[in-house]
Amino acid sequence: MHRLRSGCPWDAEQTHLTLVRYLVEETLEVVEAIEAGTDEHLAEELGDLLLQVVFHAEIAAEDGRFDIEDVARRIADKLVSRHPYVFGDGAVPDDLVGSWERAKAVEKSRASALDGIPEQLSALTRAHKVLVRARSHGLPPESLGVHATEVPADALGGEFLALVARAEALGLDPEQEARSALRALESRVQSAESQA
């Protein structure tokens, strides 16, 4: 990558910002490769995604901010600190996801369950993250007015599609409807946090 940055005009002109679209594309290509189920395709796409990490680290290294070794060290340190039951003598927690989220909240000095959740996520993905975070902060979905209906796991995807079809029949944008409901949920999380 160092040679590419000095020898290839296209590589040389890239910045963190100009590479964002490639990072998103490569991430989605990894998802497609996982869903396709071939190891060869997955290995190729993981390599393309790794290239993005190396590229960003090289750009930062040119400015003396950090390099690929710093990136690797930080993820290793994070994995060790968030797994005291693996790398220490701690007991395995009953709620592994909640334990991870609580450790992350302490490390990053996050006051709210909503802190650090990317706005750019789809409404469905963000809603999932909000509910997971809220639960790890002691706010189960039911306490926020979200009540799960009983749907068999193998029928859940069909239920999502049925809701999309219902929105379409009503002339509504399903993503926007979900986003509006999500904003209301986030307000309830913030309200519950302020009362705690």
For residue 34, what pLDDT band results from cuts at 50, 70 and 90?
Answer: very high
Residue 190 has a pLDDT of 92
On the question of pLDDT at 39 being above 90, the answer is yes
Residue 105 has a pLDDT of 75
Q: In whole angstroms, what is the distance from residue 20 CA to residue 118 CA? A: 14
Reported as a single tens digit per residue, the pLDDT across 49-64 is: 999 999 999 999 999 9
CA dihedral 72, 76, 82, 84 (to 10 degrees): 180
Reported as a single tens digit per residue, the pLDDT across 131-170 is: 988 988 889 899 999 988 888 888 999 999 999 999 999 9
Residue 150 has a pLDDT of 85
- What are the start-end ranges of the E strands in 35-160? none
- Domains located in the chain, CATH noted: 2-81 (1.10.287.1080), 84-195 (no CATH)
CA dihedral 139, 141, 142, 144 (to 10 degrees): 70
Mean residue pLDDT of the chain comes to: 92
* Neighbour-count burial of 88, counting CB atoms closer than 10 A to its CB (0-12 exposed, 13-18 middle, 19+ buried): exposed
Show the tokens assigned to 159. Answer: 């239920």
Q: Which residue has the higher pLDDT, 138 or 39?
A: 39
Residue 95 has a pLDDT of 84
On the question of pLDDT at 83 being above 80, the answer is yes
Q: In whole angstroms, what is the distance from residue 57 CA to residue 97 CA? A: 29
Q: In whole angstroms, what is the distance from residue 12 CA to residue 22 CA? A: 15
For CA atoms 134, 140, 142, 143, the dihedral sign is negative
